[in-house]
Structure 1
Amino acid sequence: MQEFQDDTDLQAYEKVVNELLDRPEYGERWARHWLDLVRYAESDGYRADIARPQAWRYRDYVIESLNDDKPYDRFVQEQLAGDELFPDDPAALIATGFMRHGIFEYNVPDIRGQWDNILNEVTDVTGDVFFGVGFQCARCHDHKFDPLLQKDYFRLRAFFEATLPRDDVVAATPEAKAKYAAQLAVYQEKTRELRTRLDALLEKPLQNVFEATIKRYPDDLKDVIRKDPEELTPYEKQLFQFADRLVRHEQARVDSRADRETRDQILALRRELAKFDSIKPKPLPRPMTITDVDSVAPPTVIPKRKTEVAPGFPTILEPEVPTITPPPNLTNTTGRRSVLAKWLTRPDNPLTTRVIVNRVWQYHFGRGLAANSSDFGQLGGAPTHPELLDWLTSRFLENGWRLKSLHRLIVTSATYRQSASHPQLAEFQQKDPSNRWYWRGEVRRLDAEQIRDSIFAVTGQLDSTRGGPSVLADLPRRSIYTRVMRNSLDPLMEAFDLPQFISSNSNRNATTTPVQSLLLINSQVMLAHAATLAERVHSQSAADDDIRTRLQRLWWFIFGRQPTQEELDQAITFLGAQEQVRASERTEDGVPANVTTGQVPYRDGQAVLFEDDPQQERFQVPADIRLDVDDFTFEAIFQLRSVYESGAVRTLAAKMARLDSKSGWLFGISGKGSRRKPQTLVLQVFGENSDGRSQEVVLFSDHHLELNKPYYAAVSVQMKTADTPGVIKFHLKDLSNDEEPLSTVEFPNPLVSMTANRDPLSVGSGRNADRFDGLIDDVRLSQTALSKSELLHVAEGSTPATIGYWQFEPKPGLLKDSLPDGMPIELGGRGPKFTPAYAAFVDLCHVLLNSNEFLYVR
């Protein structure tokens, strides 16, 4: 901002425009608009909401295409028919993921109904995005307002009738494929014996899973699933891929379905195989793609009428059925989508080009020349300036379908650059109160991603790493790179109107609600950001800088401008008053600003974010006689962000404070390098056995825990007595899937008592540096081995057996025990201890991060 203000060049504005268009952030920002249109998300939706680990490749494709200024006609063709038109281009294969972003339920028995819904949804979104016409209104009958026939809807759907979702297509260059094949051959040769033995062990368990899975389907579909693949018709192949997807999903967890002896043998062989990982080639990209199922498409039939239709365009534009022939150099494809893609990208197409030009105008001005940018029909409303839309479209085509040229043309125009301080402002306002003629710029609230990214930017945390798999929203990457789970959106972005991405979104809502204010003001996350901002200001200030200098720096960080004298005076007055408040108050919770909270997906309320950071606060319940029990059950709800590469444990909780402890217990998740069982629940207990000798018991549950997935986990310990055998039970529940049952694994316990200790109970950390990385929600400790019906998973709240129950909620307090006479958690880490003056400065940072000038732009 300062450089621009100081630049005396008459072309200073144009230089800034060109610089911004050349920056990688341009593609990241404008990709967000496109991803809204194509309903991009990284989960299936519906109740299970299974994650889509390869969806990010399409997101990166869009960003790279925009940054490379790929011609829009090529951009459209790749997404509708990249596999047919550009089969040797890996980017074009990834682009067909456009047709894979709809919601999908992997375990539904009604395969026929779901496939019909998917084809309809692809038809709808194609109409919205490329035609700018609401085709879905013509699905059941001729459109009541626009000249679209029901036949037109199914003519458009027929272009997609032959499609087959694929997750096994390699998107790589021939050179990359050849290199991979050579490395794989070496790996397979060296591991042949191990893999043969493993396959033999897995054969029966895999078959058992297959049989158990297909029981969900009706008999006629079971016959299809059991058919030889060569005997399947094209339509049966489309149905089969649903069942096959579910079978593979269930078989991926086959290890836990085998009996104990077989499971141990399988895990032992997997550990032996892991020793060859250094020579195993990295998998080639296998994005979510589309191909045709065969060279002959299943018929497209209008329901009820039972009329078969061929692919075609809206009758009012192209009444004749186009000639379609399969590409001569490809097999098992119809060529239908290539015809659609080429028709849409004809320079004389009356819709496609005007739709994208209108969208670009909309995103710059707040609304399009045609108000509804995805509905150019009667209900969408006519353009306010049709001649301008036509002129912009002609210039867009003359410039080779390049979007950057269109941006440059719009933002350097007099219309875009005119000032709101025009001398005839009052007259304009009286004549045109709706601002239909663009006499002033719209005041707009930042959208959800801009708010989040701005917070990270001004506090100095923003990570500019580009591309790759998505991360959780608590990491400071740009929002475009955060994982978007449809049923579990980031609370901050959800409050600021982030869509759920079920259907195409051409325009974001911009509401103003009490929830937004309450979240920004009361959130422990925002207070942590304010503390980071305060630290940034102080770290970049000289020791002898006065408060006005520091305030000027703060204003530049947040608002990009100097504060006025009045603002400086108000800020200084606020700091003085707030310092007195901070000096005199005694907080209920004593929670420092650097303790961060979040939300575990599929859960209400807040959780504590633990990080693998030496500066992380240690959460400890001080030593208390109530904690010293032999039989116990520990329970927690959590989301794991990472595990150690070594065998070290991500500790959920431990009553074992010292590195050389020979007493107490520790419960957590083993690392990737565990010599016994990686990435599973592990319990370590020190005690005395029936022979009176000290003994260490280390048990692994055999559950495989996935990263970034919400879980409920528990371990119960029952000591051995003269009358009853000792038992240790692990319990695990995947909270993202209601249909997934609670899994329980049981082991004998040789101990008769716990070795006495008076250590504190630590949550999120163990001995030395074994720290948890992720979110931990409700934590409960009970003084007995609970039965399944008593577990927190099904019986929330406290019971007579509860020792402590910590929920991390504002009431009764973030670190308070929910029991009336409970034991609060204390912080024993290295967090900053604020002086009243510093705490007041943090509060001022917090206030400014809540200001309208920060949240709105004009």
Structure 2
Amino acid sequence: MHRTTAFLLGSMVWLAVTGVVLPIDPKPAARQAVDPDHAARMARGLEIFKKHVRPILNKHCLQCHGGEVTESEFDITDREHLLKGGLAGPAIVPGDAQKSLLYHVVNHSKKPRMPLKADRLPAEAIQHIAAWIDSGAPYDRPLIERGDSAAWTRKVVPEEAKQLWSLLPLQQVEPPRVVDPAGWVRTPIDQFILAQLQKAGLEPNPPVDRRKLIRRAYFDLLGLPPSPQAVEAFVNDSAPHAYERLLDELLRSQHYGERWARHWLDVARFAESHGFEHDYDRPSAYHYRDFVIKALNEGLPYDTFVRWQIAGDELAPNNNLALTATGFLAAGVHSTQITKNEVEKHRYDELDDILATTGTAMLGLTIGCARCHDHKFDPIPQRDYYQMLSAFTTTVRSEIDLDLDPDGYKKAKAAFDVEHAPYTAALEKFARDQLPTRLAAWEASPASASLREGKAWTTLEPAAMQSEGGATFSKEPDGSILVTGKNAKFDVYTITATTDLVNFTSIRLEALAHPSMVKGGPGRASNGNFALSDFRVSVAPRMDKDAKAQPVKLRSPRATFEQKGLPIAAAIDNDPRSAWAVDPQFGKNQAAVFETESPIGFEGGAVLTFTLKFNNNDGHNLGRLRLAITSAPQPELVGDGVPASVLQLLRTPAEQRSEEGRKSLLEWYKRLDPEYRKLEQAAQEHARKAPKPNIVKALISTEGLPAVRLHTQGEDFLKETHFLRRGDPLQKEGVAPLGFLQILVRTPNPEARWPVQPPPGSRTSFRRKALADWLTDVDHGAGHLLARVIVNRLWQHHMGRGIVPTPSDFGTRGERPTHPELLDWLATELIRNEWRLKPIHKLIMSSAVYQQASTIDPAKLKVDPDNRLFWRRPSRRLEGEVIRDAMLSLSGQLDPRMYGPGTLDPSSKRRSIYFTVKRSQLVPMMVVFDAPEALTSMGERPTTTIAPQALLLMNNPQVRSYAQGLARRLTIGPNPQTEEIVASGYRHALGRQPTAEELQQSVAFIRQQVDSYVGSGKPNGLELALADFCQVLFCLNEFVYVE
């Protein structure tokens, strides 16, 4: 690998300060057999050392053989000194206790017997030492740390180590002057390319023909084939700007975002399941995929694209796109089966995935390699790793409710409000002009007298409400209680109310529906149910505050509905395993009445305490309830209850009521007046037609909201990130403050440049915002490298390989750029164009180097076999997604719907990007054509040629259905001739006319297939033969490759 002299010296300095030793053995080592059990044996040995051997050595040996005292020059503080031994020679032979001096001296089978002048160690301790040596004698850390053990947490990278080409600021370069008598140069890009070609004595390839050029452009930008009409129009358009207009049209297409989102999702290791052995689904993760598509189509500047993925919830908390962008952090694998003791280790693994992916995706640096030690090749100390890691310490996966189209909802709601206004006006006019008179007439009726006498239900007004599970209670105008907020696994509601009613004999509990609950409730469970396992009532005199509440004995329970096996009687049977429930009567009001064993009440009023327990099923708590009492014998289960305050007003003469009292009574009477109820019902019927916001669950990454819990997780995630020696959570070296890569900081005071300043009352730390600021800072931070990496990715997908051939490794182990000046010029153009990607696409595709033919010239191939100088634009095989989408499009079956949940159904007609990416169940067609497993970031897919690819195209039932669809399209029209069908098939699938030989062979093939099918008794022989022909077109190299 080539290195400049300056950087070679810098690398030597970095290796020196990191303490890396590279031994050189002039004699080749003998090849050793690979031991497949070595890793497992060492792991067992390390466990033995931690649990048993370390305490033994500390207690019995360290006093004389470690620290300041080393008798017989024998030091046991670390493995290196144990192997070296003392005056008596090496103390251990890893893997063989019987040959190890340490084992024999503690076993007293050899002198000097140890511990000196002490009893022999217990047999169990000696067995542990022997087992540890036999396993290889692994050490985790020294028994005594020497010097400043935490010095590495303060390591400073020397300036000499920062001279790697990718870490330097962008060079302000001008396109080189070139001699171009043929007029090949079309853009400044071509000047950079031609200059290098001329130095090598090479000439670029001639331009590709226009049919191949439009096909190339379509597949590069849209991932779909051009229609025959589009091809002919472009071929016949002689206007000088015809190609420019084509590029503009393609970049405006919504399919552009679908095509290029797939490239980024590879880099982001996006999937819709957690991974590991259970691989549970993430049903709300698709919003991140939709964000990427929308962001690309809308031309979101790339620096904003990056910033939102790191800290969208902090930068733009009211922007749906910004919130869903944080799905980038949540896209990695996530174990759902961890024990309490594994929470911390798992969390550090997860944070490592986030940081490592951020580093490779956005900066092209393998930051994750510095987890356990300083990076062995790049100047990234372990200190920087943990300080960057701390940006994500309290970031968790969380699900939020998201309105997918808030602007559309506001517009529709405003239009509906105009339509609904007459209903509201009619109600207001009736209440103002007629309701008072009708109330007075009703008060003089016998119905009013019955209510005043207390013969109807009296609704209790709660004075105090409490939920042991942390739920929130709110009083509704109708006297009911709405329960929202936290829905605990099991809960207990305690409600207190007062009443002046004396001698009441029945209590009613209503379980009421509400639109805020699943299926309308009345329960808060995921199916709308509840399970009331215990209902208890106690009473005390209101006037005697010292009196102890007495339990009320309940009997003869009745209910409007009882779930099979879960009757109302179960609520008062003192059995916590039984309960009252109402499945499947969801979305309906239910009621239960309990008689008291004797009349209840006190002169001066009573205080009632109701206790409702929900211990029968997880989350089956009641969502809306109302309590009422009555003294009427055998009261009805249902019927309007009268609040105590209204009852008091009814018993007060009209002339003595206050203005507020008159208004309250009038408001209550609305429920009884038939004419008002008729108008109200009409208004409610119309209100049901009101538009509703499109609320869905979205998986985001944020702080301060409930995390997506793991199935066996017993504790919350850590609140601080520590420096970890060797990456081990058991070896902490203090809390790691937020920091950045020293190699990409060009300011003496980074804390002031990128401060962590959460606004007052913020639920997030704003550490991720500081990280996002540094990532995109082109003056003092990582902005220049960020720009280099993304323009290289664009070039890679247009030209087949990047200017830097290792697109996710811009470090010393990656390859150097073939055209460093061109790379810096493109990065500068990106920043100058306000980080917009579409102008860079157009710039690259407008160049002569992009428009070259893919023809291989043997002479040029000999000089530059890998095409590093880009003397041709190589042909490339399409990805599995694009091959499928192309066949689907040609069949006429493509479903153009965008966004939304994906599917695993192989017969789906939507584009392949909408396939659900389930890590344990990848779509076979995508896998066989090299789609990634989405476990780690992938910047460049491999391109394999294997037999299953051809077999899939020839035998897959979906491919066959696409071929049949294309065949039907080719036969539309009056009696098409076979020659016309063949020519049309070539124009659709390949964008060109068949040659005379191809035409002749295709016609002969179709006729032969027709004869074969008809001869076997199949009357639709022509239909089947044409499908065969179309399937053959799909199998051609020319179809799956783009020149």
TM-score surpassing 0.5?
A: yes
Alpha-carbon offset, residue 207 of structure 1: 2.7
CA distance in 1, matches of 2:759, 2:798: 44
Partner of 2:701: 290
Taking the TM superposition and a 5 Å limit, the aligned residue runs for 1:534-683 are 534-538=967-971, 540-543=972-975, 545-585=976-1016
Partner of 2:517: none
1:467 paired to 2:771 = no
Partner of 1:83: 313
Amino acid at match of 2:565: E
Alpha-carbon offset, residue 533 of structure 1: 1.8
Partner of 2:910: 477
**What are the Cα deviations for residues 681-705 of structure 1, in whole angstroms up to 9, with x where unaligned?**
xxxxxxxxxxxxxxxxxxxxxxxxx
Alpha-carbon offset, residue 280 of structure 1: 9.7
1:846 paired to 2:1031 = yes
CA distance in 1, matches of 2:385, 2:910: 41
Tell whether the 8 Å contact from 1:156 to 1:311 is kept in structure 2 after alignment.
Answer: yes
1:26 paired to 2:256 = yes
CA distance in 2, matches of 1:522, 1:498: 20
Taking the TM superposition and a 5 Å limit, the aligned residue runs for 1:361-760 are 361-420=795-854, 425-471=857-903, 472-538=905-971, 540-543=972-975, 545-585=976-1016
1:316 paired to 2:740 = no
**What are the Cα deviations for residues 712-762 of structure 1, in whole angstroms up to 9, with x where unaligned?**
xxxxxxxxxxxxxxxxxxxxxxxxxxxxxxxxxxxxxxxxxxxxxxxxxxx
Tell whether the 8 Å contact from 2:907 to 2:958 is kept in structure 1 after alignment.
Answer: no
Alpha-carbon offset, residue 43 of structure 1: 1.7
CA distance in 2, matches of 1:513, 1:193: 71
1:166 paired to 2:597 = no
Deviating more after overlay: 391-400 vs 281-290: 281-290
**What are the Cα deviations for residues 768-820 of structure 1, in whole angstroms up to 9, with x where unaligned?**
xxxxxxxxxxxxxxxxxxxxxxxxxxxxxxxxxxxxxxxxxxxxxxxxxxxxx
Partner of 2:722: 300
**What are the Cα deviations for residues 367-398 of structure 1, in whole angstroms up to 9, with x where unaligned?**
11111111101111111111110111111111
Alpha-carbon offset, residue 453 of structure 1: 0.3
Partner of 1:711: none
Partner of 2:197: none
Alpha-carbon offset, residue 14 of structure 1: 1.1
Distance change >3 Å, CA 402–CA 382, structure 1 → 2: same
SS in 1 for 2:311: helix
SS in 2 for 1:350: helix
Deviating more after overlay: 38-47 vs 150-159: 38-47
CA distance in 1, matches of 2:483, 2:762: 36
Alpha-carbon offset, residue 836 of structure 1: 2.4
Partner of 2:389: 157
Tell whether the 8 Å contact from 1:43 to 1:49 is kept in structure 2 after alignment.
Answer: yes
Alpha-carbon offset, residue 87 of structure 1: 2.0
Distance change >3 Å, CA 203–CA 325, structure 1 → 2: closer
1:353 paired to 2:790 = no
Alpha-carbon offset, residue 312 of structure 1: 1.1
The two structures have a TM-score, normalised by structure 1, of 0.60
Amino acid at match of 2:582: I
1:56 paired to 2:339 = no
**What are the Cα deviations for residues 192-245 of structure 1, in whole angstroms up to 9, with x where unaligned?**
99998999xx999x4399xxxxxxxxxxxxxxxxxxxxxxxxxxxxxxxxxxxx
Tell whether the 8 Å contact from 1:293 to 1:332 is kept in structure 2 after alignment.
Answer: yes
SS in 2 for 1:140: coil
SS in 2 for 1:415: coil
**What are the Cα deviations for residues 309-354 of structure 1, in whole angstroms up to 9, with x where unaligned?**
2111122333865243323255122221111111111124331111
SS in 1 for 2:239: coil
CA distance in 2, matches of 1:365, 1:459: 29
CA distance in 1, matches of 2:907, 2:990: 24
Tell whether the 8 Å contact from 2:409 to 2:691 is kept in structure 1 after alignment.
Answer: no
CA distance in 2, matches of 1:23, 1:436: 32
Distance change >3 Å, CA 566–CA 121, structure 1 → 2: same
Alpha-carbon offset, residue 278 of structure 1: 7.0
**What are the Cα deviations for residues 75-118 of structure 1, in whole angstroms up to 9, with x where unaligned?**
11111111212222222112111111111233433333332221
Partner of 2:584: 268
Q: Tell me the C-alpha RMSD between the 2 structures.
A: 3.7
Partner of 2:490: 207
CA distance in 1, matches of 2:931, 2:846: 30
CA distance in 1, matches of 2:1013, 2:740: 69
Partner of 1:614: none
Alpha-carbon offset, residue 286 of structure 1: 3.9
Partner of 2:645: none
Alpha-carbon offset, residue 456 of structure 1: 0.3
Identity across matched positions, percent: 36
CA distance in 2, matches of 1:345, 1:834: 66
SS in 2 for 1:306: strand
SS in 1 for 2:354: helix
Alpha-carbon offset, residue 440 of structure 1: 1.4
Partner of 1:597: none
Distance change >3 Å, CA 189–CA 180, structure 1 → 2: farther
CA distance in 2, matches of 1:189, 1:330: 25
**What are the Cα deviations for residues 506-542 of structure 1, in whole angstroms up to 9, with x where unaligned?**
111221111122222122222222222211211x232
Tell whether the 8 Å contact from 1:194 to 1:269 is kept in structure 2 after alignment.
Answer: no
CA distance in 1, matches of 2:412, 2:721: 39
Deviating more after overlay: 842-851 vs 174-183: 174-183
Tell whether the 8 Å contact from 1:169 to 1:289 is kept in structure 2 after alignment.
Answer: no
Distance change >3 Å, CA 198–CA 317, structure 1 → 2: closer
CA distance in 1, matches of 2:1031, 2:734: 64
Taking the TM superposition and a 5 Å limit, the aligned residue runs for 1:179-198 are none
Partner of 2:673: none
Distance change >3 Å, CA 299–CA 40, structure 1 → 2: closer
Alpha-carbon offset, residue 576 of structure 1: 2.5
5+ unaligned residues in a row in structure 2: which ranges? 1-230, 417-423, 425-472, 493-523, 534-562, 567-578, 591-684, 706-717
SS in 2 for 1:287: strand
**What are the Cα deviations for residues 609-655 of structure 1, in whole angstroms up to 9, with x where unaligned?**
xxxxxxxxxxxxxxxxxxxxxxxxxxxxxxxxxxxxxxxxxxxxxxx
SS in 2 for 1:475: coil
Partner of 1:332: 763
Partner of 1:760: none
Tell whether the 8 Å contact from 1:84 to 1:330 is kept in structure 2 after alignment.
Answer: no
Partner of 2:429: none
